[in-house]
Structure 1
Amino acid sequence: MNALQQLLGDQLFVWMIVFVRIGTAFTIMPTVGDAFVSARTRLLLALAVSVVVAPAVRAQLPPVPGNAFQLVVLIVGEMTVGIFLGSIGRLLMGTLEVAGTIIALETGLSNAQIFNPAMATTGSLPGALLGWLGLLLLFITDMHHLLIMAVVDSYATFVPGAPIPIDDMANVVGQLVSRTFLLGVQMAAPFLITGLLFALALGLLNKLAPQVQVFQLFTSIQVLLGLFMFALTLAAMMVFWLSRFEATFIEFLKPL
């Protein structure tokens, strides 16, 4: 009976430690961690993945801690790794918000606000549309499998119980923030160029024909031209973002 109790206790400890990392990552990362996924569904998915993954990573887990303090330290470390993994995917989704905000400013739609699933907050109309399309593409292309596999494969990089490389994590997050802004500007580059040329043309028109109501002409044509450009470049922008999402996610999950 004592051997059976010890076996059950060890197995529960393995499930708990694996669930802490996976559950924390699933709470933050896009797709399974978004607001439209209920907390119960997210919890059941994390439990199911933990039960499946636990036997595969059991050899990499430390033994049962001898006291409560060591157990708390181990749990906090696993939560930190889960937050880091989920934040990588969430920051990559922020690229769509950056691009959408720039597009909204250049097309005159910055005053219209709507819920943006990519950032789980209120944002511009173009940003919300890009956010919904980004989530849809992640599911259509099975990219959410990459997110789940990245959490599972992280046990080879972040061994439970080992010291957490906080400096390396901070460097990765800093590089990823700059990469996110750069990709967002690259996606919105056609709108920046078109908006600059359009404003220059209207400025020249104002000098040549002061009697023309440039402001009224600018606001109406700006929206029309912006929607036309948005329709032309939407597919290319999403393909560009999806390829960079996959490449960047794999790059930042290489062993440190």
Structure 2
Amino acid sequence: MNVLQQLLGEQIFVWMLVFMRVGTAFSVMPTIGDAFVPTRMRLLFALAVSTLVAPAIRPMLPPMPGNPFQLMVLVAGEMTVGIFLGTIARLLMGALEVAGTIISLQSGLANAQIFNPALATSGSLPGSLMGWLGLLLIFVTDLHHLLIMAVVDSYATFTPGAAIPIDDMANVVGQLVSKSFMLGVQMAAPFLITGMLFALALGLLNKLAPQVQVFQLFTSVQVLLGLFMFALTLGAMMLFWLSRFESTFIEFLKPL
């Protein structure tokens, strides 16, 4: 009976430890971790994935700690790694909101706000549309499998029970914040150039005809031009973002 209890306790410990990293990562990263996904669905999905991958990961897990304090430290470390992995994907999704905000400013749609369920807050119209398209493309191209693989293969990089490289994590997050902002600016570069040229043209026209309220007359033209360019460049922008999203996550994939 004692042997059975010990085996059962070790198995529960393995499931719990795997669930801490997998469940935390899935609750932060896009798709399954978005605000519009019910909490129960997130927990059930994380539990199912944890149960499936636990036998393959079990040889890499440390033995059961002898006291509750060591167990809490181990669980906190796994949750930290899960938050880190989910934050990477969430920062890359933020590039879409950056690009959408720039597009709305250059198109005269800055005051048009709509609720963005992916971010659980209000955002620009182009940013919300691009956020929805980003989630759709992740599922259509099966990149959600890549997210799951990144979490599972992270055990080869972040060994459970080992010291957590906080400095390296902070550097990676800082680089990803810079990269996501740069990615958003690159996606919205045509709108930045067109907006500057349009503003320059209006300024010259205002100098030539000061009595004409050119900025009030050409506001609708600015919106029409912005929407026309958005329709032309949307496909290229989303494919560009999707390739960068995939290449960034592939860097974290290592075989067990």
TM-score category, normalised to shorter length: over 0.9
In the aligned structure 1, how far is the partner of 2:249 from the partner of 2:183? 13
Which residue number in structure 2 is paired with residue 31 of structure 1? Answer: 31
Distance 1:136 1:157 in 2: 29
RMSD: 1.2
Residue aligning to 1:202: 202
Match of 1:224? 224
The residue that corresponds to 2:183 in the other structure is: 183
Query: Are 1:192 and 2:164 counterparts?
Result: no
Partner deviation per Cα, 1:57-98 (whole Å, 9 max, x = no partner) = 000000000000000000000000000000000000000010
Distance in 1, Cα, partners of 2:12 & 2:123: 43
Give, in whole Å, the separation in 1 of the partners of 2:102 and 2:11.
51
Residue pair 2:156, 2:254 contacting (<8 A) in 1 also: no
Structure 2 SS opposite 1:115: strand
Find the aligned partners of 1:254 and 1:117 in 2 and give their Cα distance: 32
Matched residue count? 255
Once superposed, which parts of structure 1, at least 4 consecutive aligned residues long, lie more than 3 Å away?
A: 252-255
1:141 to 2:145 alignment: no
The 8 Å contact of residues 96 and 118 in structure 1, kept in 2 or not, is answered as no
Deviation at 1:251, TM superposition (A): 2.6
Match of 2:52 in 1: 52
Q: Which residue of 2 aligns with 1:103?
A: 103
SS at the partner of 2:122? strand
Tell me the residue number matched to 2:3.
Answer: 3
Q: Is the 8 A contact 1:26 1:86 kept in 2?
A: yes
Conserved? CA contact 1:92–1:245, under 8 Å: yes
How far apart are residue 201 of structure 1 and its match?
A: 0.6
Number of the residue aligned with 1:244: 244
Larger deviation: 207-216 or 55-64? 207-216
User: Any idea what SS the aligned residue of 1:64 has?
Assistant: coil
* Post-superposition offset of 1:253: 5.5
Instruction: Give TM-score scaled by structure 2 length.
Output: 0.97
Q: Name 1:163's counterpart in structure 2.
A: 163
Q: 1:89 is matched with which residue?
A: 89
Post-superposition offset of 1:254: 6.5
Structure 2 unaligned residues grouped into runs of 5+? none
Distance in 2 between residues matched to 1:253 and 1:171, nearest whole Å: 18
Q: CA deviation at 1:209?
A: 1.8
